[in-house]
Structure 1
Amino acid sequence: MDKEAVQMMSFQLVAHVGEATAHFTEAIKFAREGDFEAVDREIKAGDAEIIEAHNSQTDLLRCEVTGEEIEFSLLLVHAQDHLMTTIVFERVAKELIEVYRELREVRDAK
């Protein structure tokens, strides 16, 4: 796979994880406001973007596993970094959202 193809796949990765991060950030905002229906929509949209990012990553891995030469790209390293960071952010966001849910339940019970 030539460098241009690797870079295009890298751009796809960055675009998808950027969208996912935006959705997870919005989900936290909605959780703070108590709008858990919006939270669920944003989490679902963010998860869909992560799946698309994983699909791009899997395409690259498949090429390498089958012996296709992959041109080194710093952009790919950057994209992989963003993917890993977004996956960690997703986990933290989901935990924080659960804290907001529990806090809302406690407040509503009073």
Structure 2
Amino acid sequence: MEMETTVMELIIHAGEARSAAMQALQEARKQDWAAADALLQDAQRAAREAHKIQTQLIGADEGCGKVPVNLILVHAQDHLMNAMLCRDLVEELIYLHREVQGLRKSHGQ
């Protein structure tokens, strides 16, 4: 049961990271930069927690196949990698939203 709980925690933290990143992008579209920044930080914290679990699993495996690789573990890994990629892309999109707003302001729009 411990392995199942660990993997579920990995999925939960990865899901939180992705969700917070997407919410940050929505806030950026509304030009609420403080909320967007806070949500990006939330996404980073959740991803860090998921990454800690992943690191523990890798350490427990010791490169010897001690951790059984099943569909739920693969699913958890997919969630984590997607969440990390999502956060990176959202951060860049928010940067672009800020640039566009700056250009609009400088051109009086």
TM-score, normalised by the number of residues in structure 2: 0.91
| Count of residue pairs the alignment pairs up | 107
Residue 82 of structure 2 aligns with which residue? 85
Note if 1:46 corresponds to 2:43: yes
Unaligned runs of 5+ in 2: none
Note if 1:71 corresponds to 2:71: no
- Residue in structure 2 matching 1:61, options 23, 45, 58: 58
Distance 2:88 2:63 in 1: 32
3-state SS of 2:66 partner: coil
3-state SS of 1:72 partner: coil
- The RMSD of aligned alpha carbons is 1.5
Note if 1:13 corresponds to 2:43: no
Which amino acid letter does the alignment assign opposite residue 105 of structure 1?
G
Distance 2:17 2:88 in 1: 12
Kept in 1, the 8 Å contact 2:18–2:82? The answer is: no
Q: Alpha-carbon deviation of 1:6?
A: 2.3
Kept in 2, the 8 Å contact 1:24–1:43? The answer is: yes
Which deviates more from structure 2 when the two are superposed, residues 35-44 or residues 67-76?
A: 67-76
Kept in 2, the 8 Å contact 1:7–1:73? The answer is: no
Residue 95 of structure 1 aligns with which residue? 92
TM-score, normalised by the number of residues in structure 1: 0.90
